[in-house]
Amino acid sequence: MPDISFVTTCKGRLEHLRQTLPRMATQPDCECIVVDYDCPDGTAGWVEENFPAVKIVKVAHAPRFHKSHAQNLGAAAASAPWLCLIDADILIDPSFRSVLLPYLKSGFYFRPRPLDWNAYGSFICGRSDFESAYGYDEAIEGCSCMDDDLYARLEMAGLKSAAFPGDQFVGIDHDDALRTRYYEIRDRPLNQRINAMYANIKHDLMRASAGKDITMALRRSIYAEVKKAVLAADASGRECGKIELKLPASSTVPLQHGWEIQRKWIFSLVRTPPPAATLGDGT
């Protein structure tokens, strides 16, 4: 059995994968899974021809990139006890496995430190921990916050964040246009606001329900409401959004017949003023 399963996804990023996959595929006692998410570059064919030992998961008829779904498909095909969820534009060091193995221990998930911004969403965790946390949330669209959401849920499940040497991950620099060209919303700050607001609402609900996961139907419903509110606010120039979430009627102290206590949470997304200038900050 391999020690580590590398899981990487590709949609229009074969140029990067040509540089990064050779370093993953040559790691001893590891396996690689590549998810070809309807890639227009013919990723699956290139991988089959050049790296026949690499597992391929192929998704057809998907004009938009659903990264959370792609990552979960790749993780489901893995067999190693440790998952390395790694973007197609991340170069790993040739000594990756030998350096990483001494760091890996149960009860933790691992991120590179210092952190290359391009490697923000690439990390390592136990496959069983990933599955217990239900993997990436497929209600989330685009790429913003899907990783932070998973990190938060891993910590809710009792895991702690730990570091491994940041020089093991080096990102290939590129612009946001390449990151977002297969997403519905290509404005990254706007997508981040939607996803962050949604994730925070979901986490509040999870804490209120003792850490239990929220059904996919409810998650998709909440995400749709958040997206609608934030997009409407952005279109009107308000740059904020507000949604009300109705909670089930409940009371810990019995009420007279014919009465109930109704509950709702109100979430508002508001722009905060910039921090005040202080002496020595260059202003």
Give the torsion sign (CA, 176, 26, 54, 4): negative
**pLDDT at 19 > cutoff 70:** yes
Q: In the chain, what percentage of residues exceed pLDDT 90? A: 70
**pLDDT at 277 > cutoff 70:** no
What average pLDDT does the segment 139-151 reach? Answer: 93
Place of tokens 């089959």: 48
* Contact between 119 and 170 (Cβ < 8 Å): yes
At residue 278, the pLDDT reads: 53
Task: Count the alpha carbons within 13 Å of 48 in the hemisphere toward its beta carbon.
Answer: 8
Place 54 in a pLDDT band, splitting at 50, 70 and 90. Answer: very high
What average pLDDT does the segment 49-65 reach? Answer: 97
Place 214 in a pLDDT band, splitting at 50, 70 and 90. Answer: confident
The rounded distance, in Å, linking the Cα atoms of 167 and 157 is 29
Describe the strand order of the beta sheet including 30-37 as a list of residue ranges: 55-59, 30-37, 4-10, 82-85, 123-126, 108-113, 160-165
pTM, full prediction: 0.90
**pLDDT at 275 > cutoff 80:** no
* Contact between 171 and 119 (Cβ < 8 Å): yes
List of domains in the chain? 4-180 (3.90.550.10), 188-269 (no CATH)
The rounded distance, in Å, linking the Cα atoms of 130 and 211 is 15
Give the torsion sign (CA, 50, 54, 55, 57): negative
Give the torsion sign (CA, 64, 67, 70, 72): negative
Mean pLDDT of the chain: 91
What average pLDDT does the segment 56-66 reach? Answer: 96
Q: Which of 3-12, 30-39, 174-183 has the lowest mean pLDDT?
A: 174-183
From the list 107, 115, 102, the residue with the least C-alpha distance to 3 is 102
